[in-house]
Structure 1
Amino acid sequence: MASPIGIFDSGYGGLTVFRSIAAQLPGYDYLYLGDNGRAPYGNRSFKTIHQYTWECVQWMFKQGCPLVVLACNTASAKALRTIQQQDLPNGYADKRVLGVIRPTAEVVGNYTKTKQIGVLGTTGTVQSGSYLLEIEHFFPELKVEQQACPLWVPLIENGEYDKPGADYFVQLYLDQLMQQSPNIDTILLACTHYPLLMDKIKAHVPAHVQVLAQGDIVAASLADYLARHMEIEQTLTKTGDRSFYTTIDDTDTFDHHASAFFKDIVKSRFVDVRECL
């Protein structure tokens, strides 16, 4: 039986992280699951996000994944800790679930000269305070400003990210962020959807401001994790297989949008994770 690395997202955004992971670790088998049928997660409660995320993680375990990466900031912010501390010890002690917030927080301070950074994310991620807590742990000297961008994910998932109409909403939230502190010199895109807006974001910030996506950061962190945890690495199969699943039955629509995120052709299969538990 295959033992792929599982990569989970509430929708399409995790594919930007998957792309970076597959580029840095090309030999492994991968299984991607997008919970598009219940997306977006950004405005849902902690309880609901944990329930949905844990259902999907358990389904991925049943498909043979010994390791699952929550390539979703909202799930990482609102579900990861409960999964790691409460769910895994009850029957899944041999499995591992990782997120995207800590790997990013571990390095983000290395990019700023002014010691002031901005974090752009969904309402759920911003309200959770997870980035404030994690960055404080690794870089207590940093001043961190946050800005929720509730309209960006709908724009992206409806294919409007490269249209002229998106510019207004990109500038709106960037202006609100920079008004909090004009000395911000590093902006973190704390949502895996947002890299599709990268060109527009860069066009609306000063030239000296760095804009960081998470894909390469998370991929490097995962490579380091596997090197340090050979008991997990050795259980993973390595045939280069990539499987894609979605919780919407319109797989053609998923494949169309997913291919834009993944920068390659995606062919998915529908799954109802609740029926499989």
Structure 2
Amino acid sequence: MKQKLPTIPGPIGVFDSGYGGLTILSKIREALPQYDYIYLGDNARSPYGTRSFEIVYEFTLQAVTRLFEMGCHLVILACNTASAKALRSIQMNDLPEMDPARRVLGVIRPTVECIGNITHSRHVGILATAGTIKSESYPLEIHKLFPDIQVEGEACPLWVSLVENNEAEGDGTDYFVRKYINELLSKDEQIDTVILGCTHYPILLPKIEKHMPKGITTVAQGELVATSLKDYLQRHPEMDAKCTKGGNCTYYTTEAEEKFTESASTFLNEAVTVQRIEL
């Protein structure tokens, strides 16, 4: 029997497979501090980047369902892999049955919408996880809006591990940052804009900018997603009315609380209290 979802207003849900979504949440809270938020990290089963479409969809749907049960009417998938592999299926197949009035939004579309105004050469590069690159979500979304833009992608399989193991500032990290940037740019010398298609990557931004050739713009997602959400809520007052505004943020993880608290400090400049849940 289908469980009845809460109908009273509730927080905005933010989901990620790990910690990277905290970089998105941080920018959203800067732009929209008045709202309440629930952050859910499926840290016990991360990373999603190497998993199949079916498993990413299954795990993401479990998380979205849980956030709906917690009272969220709007959920942001602050995870490129989940946005690439699960968002469309959830929007088309699951929401109509669960509750057509609820919404699930991703991070790829808001990022792509801005690209047309940034690139001059019309040649764009994507640095992301293997799963996001393999899904071809970025080229597909870019070509829908800007058919003239050429897109090349490069998977950076070690970057997430380096960030989560607190090696973002380590000397050895320079080698892997330089390596993937060079591999991407070797595919197309006319690239003038590079999208960081993983929410962990802004933590590596100082090193990325150090090794990125001059004249190439690096695009991180946080502010773009935050601006897009602000615009969305202004355009949809009926959804805005379903989002509570107490300025609070609650954190949940599927991993051990201590591990989340310790790692979260890499992504947020504040101490957090987290509860463990099972999906």
For this structure pair, what is the TM-score category when the shorter chain's length is used for normalisation?
Answer: over 0.9
Q: 1:158 aligns with which of 137, 159, 165?
A: 165
Deviations 1:181-238 (A, max 9, x none): 1221111000000000000011111121111100000000001111111111001110
Q: What displacement does 1:2 show?
A: 6.0
In structure 2, runs of 5+ residues without a counterpart are 1-7
Q: Distance in 2 between matches of 1:150 and 1:109?
A: 27
Inter-partner Cα distance in structure 1 for 2:116 and 2:178 = 25
Query: Is it true that 1:53 corresponds to 2:60 in the alignment?
Result: yes
Query: What is the number of equivalent residue pairs in this alignment?
Result: 272
In 1, Cα distance between the equivalents of 2:270 and 2:193? 29
8 Å CA contact 2:112, 2:138 repeated in 1: yes
Shift of 1:16: 0.4
Give 1:213's aligned residue.
Answer: 220
| 1:128 alignment partner AA | S
Deviates more, 1:42-51 or 1:160-169: 160-169
**Is structure 2 residue 19 aligned with structure 1 residue 16?**
no
What is the deviation of 1:257?
1.1
In structure 1, the partner of 2:88 is 81
Tell whether the 8 Å contact from 2:16 to 2:42 is kept in structure 1 after alignment.
yes
Q: Quick check: 86-95 or 58-67, which moved more? A: 86-95
Q: How does 1:127-206 map to 2 (within 5 A)?
A: 127-206=134-213
State the Cα RMSD in Å. 1.0
Bigger drift between 3-12 and 139-148 goes to 139-148
Pairing partner for 1:35 from 22, 35, 42:
42
1:93-125 superposed Cα distances (whole Å, 9 cap, x missing partner): 121000001111111121111111110100000
CA–CA distance in structure 2, aligned partners of residues 189 and 95 of structure 1: 28
C-alpha contact 1:189 1:214 (8 A) present in aligned 2: yes
Q: CA deviation at 1:261?
A: 0.7
**Conserved in 1, the CA contact under 8 Å of 2:261 and 2:271?**
yes
* SS of equivalent residue, structure 2 residue 59: helix
TM-score (norm. length: structure 1): 0.96
Q: Which amino acid aligns with 1:263?
A: N
Q: Take 1:266 and 1:259, find their aligned partners in 2: how far apart are those partners?
A: 8
Say whether residues 1:260 and 2:279 are aligned partners. no
1:18–1:262 CA contact under 8 A, matched in 2 = no
Normalising to structure 2: TM-score of the pair? 0.96
- What are the equivalent positions in structure 2 for 1:230-245 lying under 5 Å apart? 230-245=237-252
Q: Do the aligned residues in 1 keep the contact of 2:9 with 2:242 (CA within 8 Å)?
A: no
State the partner residue of 2:3: none
Task: Pick the aligned partner of 2:230 from 209, 223, 227.
Answer: 223
Tell me, yes or no, if the aligned pair for 2:21 and 2:200 is still in contact at 8 Å.
yes
Partner of 2:98: helix, strand, or coil?
Answer: coil
Q: Distance in 2 between matches of 1:217 and 1:176?
A: 26
Query: Offset of 1:36 from its aligned partner?
Result: 0.2
Aligned with 1:159: secondary structure? coil
Say whether the 8 Å CA contact 1:146–1:177 is kept in structure 2: yes
- 1:226-275 C-alpha deviation (Å, 9 max, x unpaired): 11111110011101010011000x211211111221222222110112xx
Residue matched to 1:101: 108
5+ residue gaps in structure 1?
none
SS at match of 2:34: coil
1:112 and 2:119 are equivalent in the alignment: yes
CA-to-aligned-CA distance 1:161-189 (integer Å, 9 cap, x gap) = 11111111111111100101122111100
Kindly state the Cα deviation for residue 91 of structure 1 after the two structures are TM-superposed: 2.2
Which residue pairs with 2:51 in the alignment? 44
What is the one-letter code of the residue matched to 1:159? Answer: N
Which consecutive aligned stretches of 4+ in structure 1 deviate over 3 angstroms post-superposition? none
Q: Percent identity?
A: 50
- Corresponding residue SS for 1:90: helix
Q: Which amino acid aligns with 2:199?
A: T
Q: Describe the SS at the equivalent of 1:208.
A: coil
SS at match of 1:165: helix
In the alignment, the residues of structure 1 paired with residue 241 and residue 29 of structure 2 have an alpha-carbon distance, to the nearest angstrom, of 18
C-alpha distance in structure 2 between counterparts of 1:76 and 1:36, whole Å? 17
